[in-house]
């Protein structure tokens, strides 16, 4: 399906809208309608509102360059947590404003934490705070040296999925 072809059904239109929004969250309803086969901007608006209500579209935001803002240290922290206390510990860690990702994982560790810091002291303080929990058994911290890829493209995912069909 090319960009200017008319989209036939609701699901296809939703996917095309999501692809466009994933590339430019500020695109207007009018431009989306034009790009997607001259559908009515009102139709596009309704589809987007439906996607928001279903929480498929969770939020809109800008991609920031954290290093330029002084957050030059990114850490990946693996945490082993006492049985039965994982959610409690993860919720507490997630409250830290430096943390931008908390994940339950399989393997040697129970949780994976992604966080950004301006100084090593901030990182050290957070690790010490994590270890204050009686339910944290151990941590393993990695410094990110270089970022090769940090974004995820919905367009690439859909294109790859379509190749496999």
For the chain, what is the mean pLDDT? Answer: 91
Domains defined for the chain, CATH in brackets? 10-61 (1.10.10.10), 63-165 (3.30.70.920)
- What per-residue confidence (pLDDT) applies to 7? 45
Q: What are the tokens at 85?
A: 């206390």
Burial class, 40, CB count within 10 angstroms (exposed 0-12 / middle 13-18 / buried 19+):
exposed
Tell me the three state secondary structure of residue 134: coil
DSSP one-letter code for 51: H
Query: Is residue 45 scored above 60 in pLDDT?
Result: yes
State yes or no: pLDDT of 66 exceeds 90.
yes
- This prediction has a pTM of 0.80
């Amino acid at each position: 399906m090319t960009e200017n072809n008319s989209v036939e059904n609701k699901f296809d239109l939703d996917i095309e809208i999501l692809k466009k929004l994933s590339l430019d969250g500020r695109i207007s309803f009018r431009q989306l309608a034009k790009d997607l086969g001259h559908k009515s901007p009102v139709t596009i608006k309704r589809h987007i509102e439906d996607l928001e209500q279903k929480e498929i579209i969770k939020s809109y935001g800008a991609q920031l360059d954290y290093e330029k803002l002084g957050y030059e240290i990114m850490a990946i922290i693996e945490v082993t947590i006492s049985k039965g206390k994982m959610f409690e510990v993860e919720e507490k860690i997630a409250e830290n404003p430096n943390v931008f990702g908390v994940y339950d994982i399989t393997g040697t560790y129970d949780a994976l934490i992604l966080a950004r810091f301006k100084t090593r002291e901030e990182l050290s303080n957070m690790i010490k705070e994590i270890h204050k929990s009686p339910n944290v058994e151990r941590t393993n911290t990695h410094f990110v040296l270089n970022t090769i890829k940090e974004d995820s493209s919905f367009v690439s995912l859909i294109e790859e999925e379509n190749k496999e069909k």
